[in-house]
Every structure is written in C-alpha cells, then in structure tokens.
Amino acid sequence: MKTIARPVRFEEVDAAGLLFFAVFAAYAHEAMAALFDDLDGGYPALIMQRRLGLPAVSMTSAFLSPLRYGDVAEITIQVGRLGNRSVQLDYEFRRQSDRELCSTMTHTVVFTDLALVKSCDMPLDVRAILQAHRASPL
C-alpha cells in the first residue's frame, strides 16, 4: 500500500467548485506512477527506456463525498489481483482534513510491449514492487 497527497487545484474543479469526476482518474494515474518510485528510473524509465506500458483495460469508480478546491486528497493505492500480465489496482481517495472517504476506484492494467503494442509478461523487478504493495488477505 502506498499513499500520496495531492492538493485539489482550481483548474480541476467544475463550476460548483467540486473536483471534476475525470480528474479522479488522473489522480489514480499519479498514484500508480508513484508505486514505481523505487524502480531504477521510476515510472518514466519504465515507459520511455524499457518501453513497457500499463494501459487500462477496465476501471470502476464510486463517488461518495466531494473534494473541493483547496482540499488535499490522500490517494491510497494497493495491489489487488496480480497476474502474469495484468494487475488490479485498488484506490481510496480521502479528504485529508477529516479523513472522509470521497471515492473508491478499481483499475486493471495490462503490461504492454510498446514497440509491438501487445501484452507481455511483467518483468521480475516490477512484479517484486507490485508484490510489496499487495492488499493484506482477510
């Protein structure tokens, strides 16, 4: 599990001052990239040097309480199902000031060879990082 903090910026809210729903996906992407901070070169090296991508194959969200301009969102990400070529990422979005749960998201990505644009097995170093962020079994 990993948590990042992200301030809600003015340009990310709608006319009512609420975080626009699509921005939750952008925040999730930031959290996903942060999972790979300990990888040599981080997420950018995975994409640009190793030419491995993680495109989304599915995403579901539930919106429970609004985030507003000026709030700080705490985004927690943990790895759910871990396959050979795909991984399910589970997110919680909380308002930092009161820890209220604002949204949940489940996001499945598939490892992709960007030169061939075909799925591929995930490298062992990437799998080790994902394994370290697995959800605890009940």
pLDDT tens string 24-81: 999 999 999 999 999 999 999 999 999 999 999 999 999 999 999 999 999 999 999 9
102 close to 63: Cβ distance less than 8 angstroms: yes
CA proximity to 121, closest of 130, 9, 22: 130
> Would you put residue 18 in left (φ > 0), alpha (ψ -120 to 50) or beta?
beta
Banded pLDDT at 138 (limits 50, 70, 90):
very low
Buried b (16+ CB within 10 A) or exposed e, 82-113: beeebbbbbbbbbbeeeeeebbbbbbbbbbbe
Burial zone of 67 (CB within 10 Å; 0-12 exposed, 13-18 middle, 19+ buried): buried
Query: Percent of the chain beyond pLDDT 90?
Result: 97
Domains and CATH numbers, the chain: 2-132 (3.10.129.10)
Burial zone of 16 (CB within 10 Å; 0-12 exposed, 13-18 middle, 19+ buried): exposed
> What local confidence, expressed as pLDDT, does residue 137 receive?
55
Banded pLDDT at 135 (limits 50, 70, 90):
confident
